[in-house]
Structure 1
């Protein structure tokens, strides 16, 4: 037979005192005598009482939970960011609740509405590539719910803090490194065109090529359309297999693209970096252990998670100001040189 959850009235009945006294005792209210408080705590523990967090938050107006919305669960970047959020949040007595928008604007909006209902104290969000309007986020901010945005931010949103990296500058540095090592026929492998971070990384590639007076060839540019790793592998394989003339270097917009590119090159018989140099973006661990190891733009993913959590918790202690965009934090990246270049 399923055991019924112990309630405040069960403890009150057991001790022959009022429910209000039990409630105040468990909240360590000084109005309750120490001897009574001790009896209540011992009885509650013996009966297996667990406080109802929802009821508690309704009375206090706080849940000590941070809502996090990310586009996908299987992306190492978002895993690292969530680790950073959780690390900082737990140090400050908060827990995190993570949901995925599945790269869908509609799911992103639905998740926001769910969090708006009082489940969380504030929200950390990485917008999807489909997010063209930010009215749903502005609506949340207008209701006094603190929000921090990170990564794929297409426009500034007043009232929300922003944490990001300068993707175009990071990409420029990577491509310029390839050029300085004598590479001139440089290919680009990026993600879906609609995503802001991929747009910025492509801009950095174009700027570096143009600044060094190197021709940009359409045949050397791939914007992957798939959001599934299996199909990304197929797209990269087909792209490299059908090139009329092979590049001497490839700049890729993620670690995953970089590793898939290197895998395909090795299968095709090319030597890395002798025939083709490769640079990835992210530096989330796998590039270092791959053979040959992969040169990467290292983005501070864990630190990004810590920073967004820090900014959100700071907002909890500030007056609500829906019209003021508080902070824009730009974290530094680093080019980590390894065997692939």
Structure 2
């Protein structure tokens, strides 16, 4: 794979420190905002995009903390703007590291919140409660021992991955192919279900860049099927994710601006690597299931998968994600078998 990263962001990532706010292309700044207690991804990027009239359009406002509010406000000052200059607030998907600051930004600026209608449905359905109850129920169906279910549920609440309410409401709903209302730019919505049902990327058709959210990352393979409860249920999220990745390769893209990691060139190479990773994981899950004397539980299979960090080092949300990914691969394999 031959990715060409933004060197400043890449050095910060590999050096385990927070990068500075950086202009990644004319009129676009990447603002790093730390996550809450996440040792794996470390920070998200909020993008500030200026339009032909000098107004600011925010893509993926990060996790809502007092420090992040101050950091984001400071970044506006660095580029000679104010929070009142914000005209739209766009979220590529509903997870709190991509929507958390949206209500606060809306209060400060009066700007509307924009997201795909599938994510908006989830946001309006009591998502934080739904996801908590849904995960506990699914852990039982997946064969997680009671002690493990209790421990995991407690860890998740303590880490506030389930406790943070998803309280943002969308003012503007978008669908695949829509062009955002940003004067002087053509940012087209690309619906890319997989990570969540309503995940979107934004294709800047003039600068040939892509804001990829969590659909495509340079340093990790995003989890699939991680939509919140209460919205549309995802149908075969892995198969749909493969379709989404293939759709990205048909776009004319020079530079990718992801939600985590660093901006990079080499979209097609990264799509190939990401697709290969998930296909190899499906093959591994198939091999584990075939080696068992009787049909194993999802939990039993997940324990045997060779996770990058090692099963024993996965805790809280990361362990839940691993089990959810295993269940998804099993469902995908069953779907392939019936074709």
TM range (shorter): under 0.3
TM superposition score normalised by structure 2: 0.26
TM superposition score normalised by structure 1: 0.26
